[in-house]
């Protein structure tokens, strides 16, 4: 039974009815009687609402129906009073001069009846009377239920200091130590087991199964024993594709391809995979996944966690027994409760109750946390007894924990209940961005007003309290530098998750009012059966029905699209003029469908990552209720609406990453509610806001100021940055071309921009002063600084003593022409550890930089940089040494002379680095090794670095390459001396998976045979684990080295003379067999073929040297004439600008993507087979291409076809083949025909729309007739 949470809604109605703003603008004139009635009736309902909600399950269905009706009318009342509020805001904006609705010089009142006061009063009076009548009826029904007032016990809520501490981690480690050792012993004892070991961990919800699995997964013995480890949260739906993608860390959507990737990922390797929180009992799904996982090496294991013993029985294998996780011992349970309860009176009565509470937790750590949190607000015996009594609701099965957690929820204040219940909108195990969550809470008025604090502060305290009470978990700070995607923000993101049982609590409260739409098959049924208020769509392929916002979900409050939606249209959703949306996310769109006049109630709008936005609709300034506007990374946005100053409710404006923004709109300082403004550019125009506008803004978080060349000293002082104590990250940037008329003018401006002493991150870019102001060297101002960026300060002669920033973790110094060291000798104190916290250093274009500190070396046997993990040095010609850094893991060097690189390769650093990137132009450098250090390097990128390679094939440089046995990724760029494939060196790279070669213009290919004897590569298999090969811009390359059978992807681009992939002759040639022996038929390299539904392969196909090959991409090639006997495993084939290519052959039953462009000698594709799996076909500018495959199975899977500028193509057979499938194919943008390829043969892909487009299923529309079709797309 869903909770109703009517009390907070009614309180909000009462609050809105008494609005000061509504009174000021008299928008309720003539409706005083209805308003007074509401103010009289609502407190009477609120007086008994708690009793109604608590007793709804113990009475007849009348109370439930009454609560449901009351909730519905509460939402309607909120909407009505929000209309009053909007009218008040509109009148206030009009009074201040907003004339957005004027037309032809006439006021909008006469043109638009909705804004006419008389019409407005009539319309709203009618709505309000309906609300009052409904509430009167509900009060009459209420009186018959015998509900009574319940006094709420006042609670004193703590002020927590931090949300990042795992208070109970040490308890869990101690309590589970013996069980952990038992599981680890089982896994290690199976090291020589040829069968897959599957060990399920079973226990009730809240027992700590996930935490226990994490202890095992992160144990040092396990890390050492299993080279490959993967964690996958399964949750409610056992989706094989999702699990395979999580294990492979990919996003493949095709089921077959995902399973193939999985087999390659685990093939032959000893791995440990954790499948956490498995629910489904589907034997078939598990069987398919297990078949793939069995391809791993000896000793591989799968650890699963589940609440369901039957699931464990299905999954367990062999002699291994299911591990039933023990209940947590009482001593540890007491420790958890007391740690959270904070205090316990020292008497026997309280101790006795504590023992009963521990017994009631049934060994559940989550239950203990919930109890302890509740007890932290209670001190008397009676209060403790009440908690104990209310928790003893059910004692059977797993439900015995649920009442404890539900009691923990019931114990929350009403506004916290709303905040947490709203989280039902997120799927299970969803990573929630905390800042966004707080803004959504604000948008729905969940946060109560407190005089002493801002709403954001109150919301943050609520979040911390919910974390403390275990409603949220896994709270993490994620640095934008650590994320795979680029983010323009300066600050780290904070994320959290919700435990599955706690998520169940939120869903039990909200029912179907909150919905995360994963599939659309039953979407309409869900909407018809339940009122829908909050929707999140986490995937890209779901299109909402046309009437979704009109008839299906007219009361929708939240609509969040997550991910990239591309061509999935949403414009139809916003055509209605009665939308009640409070929160809307439309990131990464190809259109901007919103109509501001239909979104008057909107509080939260996220349009981030929209590259197609150049400017916003001018009437967006009429969205007077908007609190959050996120435009981050809309990098083509040129201007903001000039009337934004009237959006007085705006609290958060995100414009970071809007690099083309010219200036800020005028009078921005009038937005006095603004708490977050991430990017402010000072324009030169008089119509722009000056920096003075920042003065009245109480900003927090991050602020990036650009265009400071347009700022005067007076304006900088007026900005008053020193009083903005909630700012944590500050970036100050001048134009790179700026030249001040007064030499000390930049210094005066920067001095006036002095921030407060709590700043965490400071960035200064293109500052042209000769000295930094005193506040940058004053430790009292920047004492808490953890990150410092100085860039392009070319005129500066004196710098801060970086050594004094004792909390500094990140230091970027870029293009500082006169910097010589990080600190001078005078600044050093021999008794103090210098740079004690520094973790990352980047030094780029420092022409005079000579040393890390003026006197190098160690102090009292302490390393100079004890915590340094990552260093990047580029173009620092005078620097001759690396820092003392025992924890260094990542090193990037770019230098003309190998002053740092050669010593590095001989040093002990090679034994501790995991990633190395070298760019060394020095052509005279010679590498001479005295000794070889064992290396743990997994990723290496080499640019130039000629000393790694030999120009004489008979004298390979083997020594250094022996270090790289653990190397997984190797990139080689612009090496002049790389003429032949370094086959002897490659023999050392036994773990390499990915090899990329770029711009090695002298590379020819394999060495010639000497005296008729084969090279070592002809008899030894090198790069046995290679899966991906990319080669680009190697003009002289003719052929590849002998590829191992494990290769799945080949990409060759810009290699004009490249001729062969697997040999000059037929695939069955003697030469091929000598080179590959029988290894290319080994199932251990390509086990995934059994999953393909393809006809029995010919002997030629089975004996292909690359049986696992899935993708070939060849482009900008002038020599390749043919490519015969393509392997049947191919799923993607691309040829671009290969003018001599004449023929292709192979039975490509698995091919899904075929793209051929500008191959003018290619005449036919008949030799590729029927292509039954082909989904996408693209043929562009192939002048002689006349025929395609037209067999009985051809194009049975085709969904997209594009044929352009192929004048010889005979379209009739293709049309006949596609005729039965025309209802499945979706027509896309169609181009008009051209007699020849325009623009001198260069393909232009921007399709015009000015002419009528031909369609595939209407042959009469083909102007050019069937034999001469030049353009067709579906």
Query: Out of 513-517, 765-769, 1067-1071, 1145-1149, which region has the weakest mean confidence (pLDDT)?
Result: 1067-1071
* 56 or 298, greater pLDDT: 298
pLDDT for 1169 beyond 80: yes
- Using a cut of 0.85, tell me whether the model's pTM lies above it: no
Residues 126 and 34 in one domain: yes
pLDDT for 467 beyond 90: no
Residues 1234 and 1138 in one domain: yes
Average pLDDT score, the chain: 79
Give me the phi and psi of 667, to 5 degrees please: 60, 35
Please enumerate, as own/partner, the contacts of 106-115 that have beta carbons within 8 Å and a separation of 24 or more: 115/90
Give the separation between CA 216 and CA 552, rounded to whole angstroms: 48
Winning range, highest mean pLDDT, from 113-127, 252-266, 836-850: 836-850
Q: Is residue 868 assigned to a domain?
A: no
Are β-strands 493-497 and 473-478 bridged in parallel, bridged antiparallel, or unpaired?
Answer: antiparallel
Q: Mean pLDDT across the stretch 831-855?
A: 86
pLDDT for 1064 beyond 60: no
Residues 300 and 352 in one domain: no
Token pair, residue 530, equals: 């339940």
Q: Mean pLDDT across the stretch 631-658?
A: 93
Residues 16 and 119 in one domain: yes
Give the separation between CA 187 and CA 179, rounded to whole angstroms: 13
pLDDT for 1081 beyond 70: no
pLDDT of residue 591: 66
Q: Is residue 310 assigned to a domain?
A: yes
Residues 252 and 355 in one domain: no
Q: Mean pLDDT across the stretch 1243-1259?
A: 37
Nearest to 627 by CA among 608, 602, 646, 656: 602
pLDDT of residue 1079: 33
pLDDT of residue 399: 56
pLDDT of residue 830: 59
Domain housing 69:
6-143
Residues 21 and 135 in one domain: yes
In tens, the pLDDT along 408-422 reads 788 788 899 999 999
**Cα angle for residues 136, 141, 142 (degrees, 5° grid):** 95
pLDDT for 315 beyond 50: yes
- Grouping H, G, I as helix, E, B as strand and the rest as coil, residue 600 is coil
732-762 core/surface letters (b: 16 or more CB in 10 A; e: else) = bbbeeeeebeeeebbbbbbbbbbbbbebbbb
What are the counts of helices (DSSP H) followed by strands (DSSP E) for the chain?
A: 31, 39
Residues 175 and 138 in one domain: no
pLDDT for 540 beyond 80: no
Q: Mean pLDDT across the stretch 1129-1133?
A: 93
* 537 or 1253, greater pLDDT: 537
Residue 692 in contact with residue 721, Cβ under 8 Å? no
Residues 250 and 105 in one domain: no
Residue 599 in contact with residue 626, Cβ under 8 Å? no
The percentage of the chain sitting over the pLDDT mark of 70, rounded to a whole number, equals: 77
Residues 1198 and 1218 in one domain: yes
- Grouping H, G, I as helix, E, B as strand and the rest as coil, residue 763 is strand
pLDDT of residue 745: 84
pLDDT for 400 beyond 80: no
1197-1219 core/surface letters (b: 16 or more CB in 10 A; e: else) = bbeebbbbbbbebbbeebbebbe
Which residue stretches of 980-1117 are H helix?
Answer: 983-986, 1070-1076, 1099-1102
Q: Is residue 749 assigned to a domain?
A: no
pLDDT for 392 beyond 50: yes
pLDDT for 545 beyond 70: no
pLDDT of residue 1229: 30
Residues 281 and 391 in one domain: no
Query: Out of 468-472, 613-617, 642-646, 1016-1020, which region has the weakest mean confidence (pLDDT)?
Result: 1016-1020
Residues 293 and 361 in one domain: no
DSSP string, 810-833: EEEEES-TT--BSS-GGG--TTS-
Q: What is the rounded end-to-end Cα distance, in angstroms, of the chain? A: 49
Residue 234 in contact with residue 251, Cβ under 8 Å? no
In tens, the pLDDT along 360-375 reads 777 888 888 877 777 7
Q: Tokens 């120009």 — which residue?
A: 951
pLDDT for 1238 beyond 50: no
Q: Mean pLDDT across the stretch 898-903?
A: 87
Q: Is residue 485 assigned to a domain?
A: no
pLDDT of residue 1272: 42
- Grouping H, G, I as helix, E, B as strand and the rest as coil, residue 836 is coil
Q: Is residue 1106 assigned to a domain?
A: no
Q: Is residue 287 assigned to a domain?
A: yes
Residue 468 in contact with residue 496, Cβ under 8 Å? no
Q: Mean pLDDT across the stretch 264-276?
A: 88
Q: Mean pLDDT across the stretch 624-632?
A: 95
Confidence of residue 118 (pLDDT cuts 50, 70, 90): confident
Give the separation between CA 71 and CA 76, rounded to whole angstroms: 9
pLDDT for 988 beyond 60: yes
For residue 376, the domain's CATH number is: 1.10.8
Q: Which residues contact 698 (CB under 8 A, 6 or more apart)?
A: 454, 672, 674, 675, 724, 726
pLDDT of residue 624: 94
Q: Tokens 């921005």 — which residue?
A: 668
In tens, the pLDDT along 566-613 reads 445 566 566 665 678 899 998 877 667 677 777 889 999 999 988 888
Query: Out of 95-109, 378-392, 792-806, which region has the weakest mean confidence (pLDDT)?
Result: 95-109
Partners of 704 in the beta sheet?
Answer: 679, 731
Q: Is residue 906 assigned to a domain?
A: no
Winning range, highest mean pLDDT, from 32-46, 120-134, 287-301, 623-637: 623-637
Give the separation between CA 1233 and CA 1253, rounded to whole angstroms: 9
Residues 89 and 232 in one domain: no
Q: Is residue 306 assigned to a domain?
A: yes
**Cα angle for residues 726, 732, 734 (degrees, 5° grid):** 160
How many domains are there within the chain? 5
pLDDT of residue 513: 85
Confidence of residue 1074 (pLDDT cuts 50, 70, 90): very low
Confidence of residue 1094 (pLDDT cuts 50, 70, 90): very low
pLDDT for 707 beyond 50: yes
Q: Final residue of a domain: which of 296, 324, 352?
A: 324
Q: Mean pLDDT across the stretch 801-815?
A: 90
In whole angstroms, how far apart are CA 524 and each of 145, 270, 527? 35, 46, 5
* 581 or 779, greater pLDDT: 581
Give the separation between CA 743 and CA 856, rounded to whole angstroms: 35
Q: Final residue of a domain: which of 281, 301, 324?
A: 324
For residue 193, the domain's CATH number is: 3.40.50.300
Q: Final residue of a domain: which of 656, 689, 722?
A: 689
């Amino acid at each position: 039974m869903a909770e109703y949470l009517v009390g907070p809604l009614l309180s909000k109605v009462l609050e809105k009815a008494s609005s000061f703003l509504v009174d000021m603008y008299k928008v309720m004139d003539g409706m005083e009687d209805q308003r007074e009635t509401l103010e009289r009736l609502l407190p009477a309902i609120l007086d008994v609402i708690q009793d109604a909600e608590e007793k709804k399950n113990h009475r007849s269905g009348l109370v439930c129906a009454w609560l449901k009706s009351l909730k519905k009318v509460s939402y309607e009342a909120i909407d009505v009073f929000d209309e009053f509020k909007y009218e008040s805001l509109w009148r206030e904006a009009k009074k201040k001069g907003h004339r957005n609705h004027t037309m032809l010089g006439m006021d909008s009142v006469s043109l638009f009846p909705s804004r006419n006061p008389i019409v407005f009063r009539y319309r709203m009076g009618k709505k309000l009377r309906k609300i009052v009548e409904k509430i009167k009826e509900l009060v009459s029904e209420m009186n018959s239920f015998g509900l009574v007032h319940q006094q709420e016990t006042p609670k004193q809520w703590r002020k927590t200091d931090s949300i990042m501490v795992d208070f109970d981690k040490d308890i869990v480690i101690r309590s589970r130590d013996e069980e952990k050792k038992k599981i680890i012993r089982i896994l290690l004892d199976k090291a020589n087991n040829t069968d897959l070991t599957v060990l399920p961990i079973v226990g009730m919800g809240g027992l700590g199964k996930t935490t226990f699995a994490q202890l095992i997964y992160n144990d040092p013995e396990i890390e050492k024993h299993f080279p490959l480890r993967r964690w996958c949260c399964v949750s409610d739906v056992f989706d094989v594709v999702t699990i395979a993608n999580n294990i492979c860390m990919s996003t493949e959507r095709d089921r077959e391809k995902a399973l193939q990737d999985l087999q390659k990922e685990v093939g032959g390797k000893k791995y440990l995979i954790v499948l956490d929180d498995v629910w489904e009992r589907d034997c078939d799904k598990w069987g398919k996944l297990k078949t793939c996982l069995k391809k791993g090496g000896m000793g591989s294991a799968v650890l699963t966690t589940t609440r369901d013993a039957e699931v464990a029985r299905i999954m367990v294998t062999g002699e291994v027994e299911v591990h039933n996780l023990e209940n947590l011992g009482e001593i540890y349970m007491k420790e958890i409760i007391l740690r959270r309860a904070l205090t316990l009176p020292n008497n026997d009565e309280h101790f006795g109750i504590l023992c009963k509470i521990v017994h009631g937790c049934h060994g559940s750590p989550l239950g203990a946390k919930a109890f302890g949190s509740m007890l932290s607000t209670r001190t008397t015996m009676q209060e403790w007894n009440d908690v104990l009594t209310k928790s003893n609701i059910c004692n059977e099965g797993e439900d015995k924990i649920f009442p404890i957690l539900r009691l923990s929820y019931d114990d929350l204040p009403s506004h916290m209940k709303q905040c947490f219940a709203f989280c039902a909108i997120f799927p299970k195990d969803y990573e929630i961005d905390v800042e966004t969550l707080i803004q959504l809470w604000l948008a729905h008025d969940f946060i109560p007003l407190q005089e002493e604090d801002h709403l954001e502060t109150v919301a943050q305290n609520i979040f911390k309290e919910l974390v403390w009470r275990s409603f949220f978990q896994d709270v993490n700070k994620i640095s934008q530098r650590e994320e795979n995607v680029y983010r323009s923000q300066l600050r780290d993101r904070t994320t959290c998750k919700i435990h599955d049982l706690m998520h169940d609590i939120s869903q039990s409260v909200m029912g179907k009012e909150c919905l995360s739409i994963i599939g659309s098959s039953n979407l309409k049924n869900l909407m018809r059966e339940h009122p829908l208020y909050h929707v999140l769509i986490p995937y890209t392929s779901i299109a909402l029905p046309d009437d979704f916002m009109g008839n299906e979900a007219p009361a929708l409050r939240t609509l969040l699209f997550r991910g990239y939606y591309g061509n999935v249209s949403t414009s139809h959703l916003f055509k209605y003029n009665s939308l009640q949306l409070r929160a809307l996310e439309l990131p990464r769109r190809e259109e901007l469908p919103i109509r501001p006049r239909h979104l008057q109630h909107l509080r939260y709008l996220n349009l981030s990552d929209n590259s197609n936005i150049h400017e916003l609709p001018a009437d967006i300034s009429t969205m007077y209720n908007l609190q959050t506007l996120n435009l981050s990374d809309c990098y083509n946005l040129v201007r903001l609406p000039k009337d934004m100053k009237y959006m007085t409710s705006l609290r958060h404006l995100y414009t970071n990453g809007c690099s083309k923004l010219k200036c800020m709109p005028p009078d921005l300082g009038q937005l006095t509610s603004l708490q977050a403004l991430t990017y402010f550019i000072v324009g030169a125009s008089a119509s722009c806001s000056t920096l003075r506008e920042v003065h009245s803004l109480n900003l927090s978080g991050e602020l990036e100021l650009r265009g400071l060349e347009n700022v005067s000293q007076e304006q900088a002082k007026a900005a008053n940055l020193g009083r903005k104590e909630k700012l944590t990250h500050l970036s100050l940037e001048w134009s790179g071309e700026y030249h001040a008329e007064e030499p000390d003018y930049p210094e005066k401006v920067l001095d006036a921009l002095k921030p407060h002493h709590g700043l965490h991150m400071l960035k200064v870019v293109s500052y042209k002063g000769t000295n930094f102001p005193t506040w940058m060297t004053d430790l009292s101002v920047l004492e808490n600084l953890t990150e410092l960026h100085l860039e392009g300060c070319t005129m500066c002669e004196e710098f801060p003593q970086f050594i004094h920033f004792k909390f500094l973790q990140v230091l970027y110094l870029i293009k500082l022409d006169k910097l010589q060291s990080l600190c001078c000798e005078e600044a050093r104190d021999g008794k103090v550890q210098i740079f004690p916290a520094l973790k990352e250093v980047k030094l780029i274009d420092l022409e005079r930089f000579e040393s890390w500190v003026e006197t190098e070396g160690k102090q009292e046997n302490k390393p100079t940089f004890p915590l340094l993990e990552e260093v990047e040095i580029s173009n620092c010609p005078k620097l001759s040494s690396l820092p003392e850094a025992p924890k260094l893991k990542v090193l990037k060097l770019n230098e003309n002379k190998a002053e740092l690189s050669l010593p590095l390769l001989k040093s002990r650093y090679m034994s501790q680095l995991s990633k190395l990137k070298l760019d060394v132009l020095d052509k005279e450098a010679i590498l001479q090794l005295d000794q070889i250090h064992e290396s743990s390097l997994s990723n290496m990128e080499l640019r130039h670095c000629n000393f790694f390679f030999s120009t004489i094939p008979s004298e390979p440089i083997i020594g250094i390459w022996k270090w790289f046995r653990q190397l997984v990724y190797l990139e080689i760029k612009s090496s002049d001396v790389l003429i032949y494939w370094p086959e002897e060196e490659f023999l050392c790279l036994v773990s390499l998976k990915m090899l990329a070669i770029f711009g090695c213009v002298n590379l020819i290919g394999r060495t010639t045979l000497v005296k008729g004897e084969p090279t070592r590569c002809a008899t030894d298999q090198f790069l046995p684990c290679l899966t991906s090969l990319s080669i680009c811009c190697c003009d002289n390359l003719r052929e590849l080295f002998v590829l191992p059978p494990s290769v799945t992807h080949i990409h060759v681009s810009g290699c004009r003379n490249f001729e062969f992939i697997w040999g000059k002759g037929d695939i069955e040639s003697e030469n091929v067999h000598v080179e590959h022996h029988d290894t290319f038929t080994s199932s251990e390299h390509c086990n995934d073929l059994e999953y393909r539904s393809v006809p029995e392969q010919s002997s030629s196909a089975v004996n292909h040297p690359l049986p696992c090959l899935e993708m070939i991409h060849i482009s900008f090639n002038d020599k390749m004439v043919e490519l015969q006997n393509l392997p049947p495993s191919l799923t993607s084939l691309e040829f671009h600008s290969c003018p001599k290519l004449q023929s292709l052959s192979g039975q490509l039953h698995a091919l899904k993507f075929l793209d051929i462009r500008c191959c003018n000698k290619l005449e036919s594709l008949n030799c590729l087979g029927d292509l039954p799996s082909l989904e996408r076909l693209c043929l562009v500018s192939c002048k002689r291409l006349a025929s395609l495959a037209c067999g009985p199975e051809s194009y049975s899977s085709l969904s997209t076809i594009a044929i352009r500028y192929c004048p010889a193509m005979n379209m009739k057979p293709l049309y006949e083949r596609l005729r039965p499938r025309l209802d499945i194919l979706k027509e896309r943008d169609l181009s008009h025909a051209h007699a020849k390829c325009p623009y001198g043969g260069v393909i232009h892909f921007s399709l015009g729309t000015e002419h009528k487009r031909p369609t595939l299923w209407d042959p009469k529309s083909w102007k050019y007739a069937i034999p001469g079709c030049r353009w067709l797309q579906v």
